[in-house]
Chain A
Amino acid sequence: MHAATTRAPNRQLRACLFLLPVAVAAVIAACSSGNQTLDAVDPNAVAQNPTFDQVNAIIHNKCVMCHTATSGDGVSGIRFSASNNMQPLTSCTDIVAQRFDIVNRTEDNTMPPGVMPRLSSEEKLLLERWVANGAPAPCNPQP
């Protein structure tokens, strides 16, 4: 038995009229985007002098799931790992030593890989500023 209770066509028309502005708005809105860097749009979007803790939080949230000291040995349950040359990013010295690579790889969006969430503009800017300031960290005291 089919559920079809036939209705007046004007109700369908109302649905179309609702969907039309959705599609139009999508097209219009998607046709343009910004052309400035976050630094230019809002210089105060992130701290001028980021701390290592702020950097470490980003690394922990976006990188450490793969870049662990135990990568490759399946310690974390049934986790297989990435390539054998995976560099851990679990310690202060790891992060400081690879800071330029971290900035470059996240800036060009090659990391995080696959469809894992990329870093936000704020996170990228924060990493850039931290490196530009000499990468202050407990394991890398400022000169």
Chain B
Amino acid sequence: MQSAAVKRAPVIIALCGAAVCAAAVMFALTRAAQAVPQYSAQAGRTCDSCHILPGNWETPKVAHQKRNMSCGTCHIDPSGGGMRTTTGRFFGRSTLPMIAISPRPQDDWDRNLPGLGRHDKATPYNSALPEGPNNMGQAAAYRDSIHDKWAWGMPDGITPDTPWPGRHAGLNPDPIFRVGGDFRFAFLFGKGKTLAFPMQLDVHSALHPVHHATLLMNVGARGQNSGYSDTIDDSHTPYFRELFAMTNEWPYQAYAKAGRFVPAFGLKLDDHTTRTRREFELDTSLPETRVLGVEAGFVAAAPFFQASYFKMKSKFEVPDQWNVFDVDNGWGTAFNAGWRDLGWSAGASAMLRRRPLDEGGDTDTYALYGSINPWYFWQHVPLTFQGELDTGSEQRASGLKQHKLVMYGEADFMAWNGVTLLAAYDWADPDRDVIDDESGRFQLGAQITVYPGVTLDSRFRFLNVATPTGDATDFFTQLHLWF
């Protein structure tokens, strides 16, 4: 018998859906525009979130425009996550934290915690921020002003499809070699249990010797929530989380990559525990979600399309930590397409896996997702919404298919510089034919970034499952160090 909480889930979902629709209609009728997963929304509202003040930029041709919220704007991997681009680093230094170390966007000059006032040393706080180069010709003169601790060298020449010197203050816009990292230390407090464990220990590096060629390597640990020693002793610590060669920086931000990666599908959320990721072999924290394949696409302003073909290891085995060619007989393909503008985004994904039953059987997965960014329209409403609906099937050991339905929704409110409040709900029915297997989870929390590279993410998590006795609450917090 289903609990009342789970029975209420559809009602909650219906109300959320109605709210999203109402908001969408409202924005459509009020003003035009332009969104996003959380941070990209917060960046999309002003140009100076990702650049020093644009001044009188020449409008580039459409093929070279990057005025969108593509994952690839802030991450080397066009599918998102992991190592950051210079634009992503600039956003992390200027917009995200309480204390900015690159010039803060003008609209945020008075959005500090009450009582703190204007205090960033990097921000002049006079009538205007410094201006960067207006065109490629002027950009060359800014090469000498680059001083970057984590990126070295610069390929010869400047192309309209790469970031230009001078547009990210002193950061190297397009380095030959760069390093980065993501380290997450988690703490879980629940009834009768307290855990402290490493969730992520990733070191990224990217080699970019010439324009249009990039080699990305991300080496990390398989974090074990049983503790630090178990993580260090794990057979997959360390392992290649990503290793691919890519040709990129082409018109319309087109690219092609080959190697080990996670296929582009749906919203690549920061929270790897969401059911939209876990139910479909997309949990980015696990080595078994990595595939060997090729992916090509474009992430233009503002349409995007990505397609991949890949081979993978059996669902019941973990691929070798270093040998990226360790795959079995199955194959898969994924497609991801949509529109990402500055005030909203919408997309659809499909993924098929075909493999023998003893390797996990066939799976079909489909997703619709989108986001709306009210903050783009109203400076006094720092809100972002994003959501995803997934459905699909997978084969059980018997060969019969089980049909799934999974949903995710999140609202973020950036109350002050460096303080984002969030509410999220995800719900899953792993088998539409089976009783009492649904569960929903509501999260309420805050992400606090005091200084660039240091984020504290804390959440109360409420789980409701089909049997009332299983409902539970815990408090999860993670210290995320990144650069």
Contact = CB atoms under 8 A, between A and B. Distances in A.
Given A3-B46, A6-B32, A76 B230 contact: yes
Interface stretch (B176-184, B236-244, B396-404): B396-404
B226 A30 contact: no
A103 B370 CA distance: 40
Contacts of B229: 75-77
A113 interface: yes
- The B contact surface, by secondary structure, is mixed
Interface in A3-62: 3-9, 11-13, 15-16, 18-27, 29-31, 33-38, 41-47
B223 to A, nearest CB: 12
A110 B227 CA distance: 23
Interface stretch (B86-94, B155-163, B186-194): B186-194
A81 B188 CA distance: 11
Contacts of B224: 65
Contacts of B441: 115
A122 interface: yes
Interface string B460-473: 01110111011011
B116 interface: no
Interface in A69-102: 75-83
A26 B463 contact: no
B32 A8 contact: yes
Contact of A77 (B29, B230, B437, B462): B230
Contacts of A66: 193, 195, 226
B474 interface: yes
Interface string B333-344: 000000101111
Contact of B21 (A12, A16, A30, A42): A16
Interface string B42-60: 0011111000011000000
Contacts of B226: 64-66, 68, 76, 79
Interface residues of A, number: 65
A55 B22 CA distance: 49
B33 interface: yes
Contact of B191 (A46, A114, A122): A114
Contacts of A110: 469-470
A28 to B, nearest CB: 9
A38 B17 contact: no
A93 B101 CA distance: 58
A10 to B, nearest CB: 8
B465 A30 contact: no
A109 interface: yes
B225 A20 contact: no
Contacts of B389: 22, 25-26, 29
Contact of A42 (B372, B398, B429, B461): B398
B397 A46 contact: yes
Contacts of A22: 17, 20, 368-370, 387, 389
A140 interface: no
Contacts of A133: none
A80 B196 contact: yes
A4 B465 contact: no
Interface in B394-427: 396-398, 400, 402, 405, 407, 427
B245 interface: no
Contacts of A25: 368, 389
B368 A114 contact: no
Residue among B24, B25, B342, B372 with the highest chain A CB neighbour number at 10 A: B24
B197 interface: yes
A81 to B, nearest CB: 7
Interface stretch (B6-14, B213-221, B250-258): B6-14
A16 B228 contact: no
Contacts of B227: 76-79
Contacts of B230: 76-77
A16 to B, nearest CB: 4
B14 A38 contact: no
Nearest to B472: A114
B228 A26 contact: no
12 contacts: A2-B107, A3-B342, A5-B67, A12-B29, A15-B370, A19-B20, A26-B389, A30-B405, A33-B429, A80-B195, A109-B465, A114-B193
